[in-house]
Amino acid sequence: MRLLLISNSTMAGEEYLDYPKNNIKDFLGDKPVKALFIPYAGVTVSFDEYEAKVKAKFNEVGHDIVSIHHFEDPVKAVEEAEAIVVGGGSTWNMLHLVHKNNLTEAIRKRVISENVPYIGWSAGSNLACPTIKTTNDMPIIDPLGFDALNLIPFQINPHYLDKNPDGHGGETREDRINEFMVVNTDMYVAGLREGSMFLVENGKINLIGKLNCRIFKNNVQAYELSPKDDFNFLLK
Amino acid sequence: MRLLLISNSTMAGEEYLDYPKNNIKDFLGDKPVKALFIPYAGVTVSFDEYEAKVKAKFNEVGHDIVSIHHFEDPVKAVEEAEAIVVGGGSTWNMLHLVHKNNLTEAIRKRVISENVPYIGWSAGSNLACPTIKTTNDMPIIDPLGFDALNLIPFQINPHYLDKNPDGHGGETREDRINEFMVVNTDMYVAGLREGSMFLVENGKINLIGKLNCRIFKNNVQAYELSPKDDFNFLLK
């Protein structure tokens, strides 16, 4: 299984999908790949517009995409995909359409049994988790079930951030993850800061990026691991 | 119907439930009221501890609460309540337990038909809306359906805030509400900033607080209304 699970598409002030483009290039390899793009998280952007944005960046690094909304049979599109790419936006809208189009088992089969590379960012990284219960997004639509692809056995919290804006009295992200752990006692949560990504291949997982990742487990004090540390316990 | 729907319990740097305590006092009136408290949004706090915190503040202003978790029959507790108070925390855990304990129709009957006062803050204000689809909370548990009490015909986004923390590249709250409106085209959303609350009584609604409220509707440019403005269109 080969996964590239990216926290966020865009660093503040930078171009869309710019910072991870070379990681995507390396992950897909030297031979040009035309990946299947799943734009379902896009809500305030049309699927055509979303495809064009992502395609432009993939083309910059010698690869290409085609969006699943052009196919009459989305399950068949997954069955024939060279690689699968799931973009960010609304995790809820994404999972709603993944479920509605019966894609869960098709994607799992390709990625787990047939070694088709999977790239996700933001909502697309949450989709690789057991559930979407660690998304930050507003639940604008019933996802038709909280279960996601379960490609990895732990939860990612993408866009992990440490503080509230000044003067804001609500719960911090860490407070929210602490609530998750009380209700989901057996699950690790990885707080994946912006600019970070997980690379899963050959049965191993590595953190890529400049920042640490924050690890949460029920009844354990949350702690930091750096890109040099061993994250393989997360896959057990 | 009488509702006091508060954005947040606590202003940064202040004591728990301090800023709205006099609004709660005025809302419940001169005669001491012993309200039924629903602590289901509390996850990292025990229901006993949560009750004690809220009770202390209600006692300061001449009123009292008792938490629903002390009653063997929660529906009967609602049927006999003088007032209903729903605290903040995890909107998801709250709605899960409201549904599990079959409280929706019991609360609606008391509040709508029998004029029992309802006070909510944060998750408790979201509970008064048609659904919880404008919560900011992490979906730590399946709520057993997204429908809420539907006491008001519009959605509140509590803890509304304008900006992301510096350097954060993710969607703003306004971006998220814009996504909500694309999928829920007929619904008004009121972005209720911290320190603000809605008072609903005698068929009218007023905004209380120092800050403006931001109003969202699909295909309408979001706009600001002040506590002096007329909000009654939201009840239509």
Predicted local confidence at residue A69, as pLDDT:
98
CB A9, CB A16: distance < 8 Å: yes
pLDDT confidence band for A163 (50 / 70 / 90): confident
pLDDT digits (tens, 9 = 90+) for B72-131: 999 999 999 999 999 999 999 999 999 999 999 999 999 999 999 999 999 999 999 999
Could you report the per-residue pLDDT of B179-199, keeping only the tens digit for each? 999 999 999 999 999 999 999
Token pair, residue A150, equals 């379960």
Q: What is the pLDDT of residue B146?
A: 97
For residue A39, is pLDDT > 80? Answer: yes
Query: To the nearest whole percent, how much of chain B has pLDDT over 70?
Result: 100
Mean pLDDT in chain B? 96
Give the integer Cα–Cα distance in Å for B219 and B162.
20
CA distance A160 to A175: 12
Name the residue of chain B whose CA is nearest to A155's CA.
Answer: B140
Q: Tell me what ipTM this predicted complex has.
A: 0.92
Query: How many residues are there in chain B?
Result: 236
Of chain B, the percentage scoring pLDDT greater than 90 comes to 94
Q: What is the pLDDT of residue B164?
A: 73
The identity of residue B22, as a single letter, is N
Which chain B residue shows the shortest CA-CA distance from A139? B133
Single-letter amino acid, residue B181: M
pLDDT higher than threshold 90 for residue B35: yes
pLDDT band at A170 (very low <50, low <70, confident <90, very high): confident
Percent of chain A with pLDDT over 70: 100
Please answer yes or no on whether B146 and A146 come within 8 Å at the CB atom.
no
**Closest CA of chain A from B80, distance in Å:** 30
- Asked whether the predicted pLDDT for residue B9 surpasses 90, the reply is yes
Whether the predicted pLDDT of A47 surpasses 90: yes
- The CATH architecture annotation of domain B3-165+189-215+224-235 reads 3-Layer(aba) Sandwich (3.40)
Nearest to A169 among B12, B136, B175 (CB): B12
Nearest chain A residue to B178 by CA distance is A44
C-alpha–C-alpha distance, residues B129 and B62, integer Å: 29
Judged on CB neighbours under 10 Å (0-12, 13-18, 19+), B145 is middle
CA distance B192 to B180: 16
Q: How far is A63 from B229, CA to CA, in rounded Å?
A: 54
DSSP symbol at A9? S
Percent of chain A with pLDDT over 90: 94
The pLDDT tens digits of the residues spanning A60-75 come to 999 999 999 999 999 9
Q: Residue A1 CB: number of other CB atoms within 10 A?
A: 17
Check pLDDT > 90 for residue B27. yes
pLDDT at A171: 83
Residue A30 reports pLDDT greater than 90:
yes
Summarised one tens digit per residue, pLDDT across range A175-233 is: 999 999 999 999 999 999 999 999 999 999 999 999 999 999 999 999 999 999 999 99
Report yes or no: B1 and B116 within 8 Å, Cβ to Cβ.
no
Select the residue of B12, B90, B177 nearest A167 (Cβ to Cβ). B12
Cα–Cα separations (whole angstroms), residue B102 to B3, B96, B106: 21, 10, 8
Q: Would strands B34-38 and B84-86 be described as parallel, antiparallel, or unpaired?
A: parallel
Among A11, A179, A184, select the one facing B90 at the smallest CB separation.
A179
Residue-wise pLDDT for A118-158, tens only, equals: 999 999 999 999 999 999 999 999 999 999 999 999 999 99
Active-site residue, A99 included:
no
Which residues, other chains included, contact B103 with Cβ-Cβ below 8 Å and sequence gap of 6+?
A: B38, B74, B75, B78
Could you give the CA distance from residue A50 to residue A43 in angstroms, rounded to a whole number? 10
Superfamily of domain A3-159+193-209+230-235: Class I glutamine amidotransferase (GATase) domain (3.40.50.880)
Task: Look at residue A99 in the predicted model and tell me its pLDDT.
Answer: 98
The whole-number average pLDDT for the span B148-157 is 98
Using CA atoms, how far apart are residues A71 and B181, in angstroms rounded to an integer?
A: 27
Rounded Cα distance between A120 and A126, Å, is: 8
Q: Please, which pLDDT band fits residue B170 given cuts at 50, 70 and 90?
A: confident
Tracing tokens 């992301």 back to the chain, one arrives at: B164
Active site positions of B, annotated? 122, 137, 159
CB-CB neighbors (< 8 A) of A93 in chain B: 179, 183
pLDDT at B113: 97
Q: Which residues of A68-85 are buried (b: 16+ CB within 10 A; e: fewer)?
A: bbeeeebeebbeebbbbb
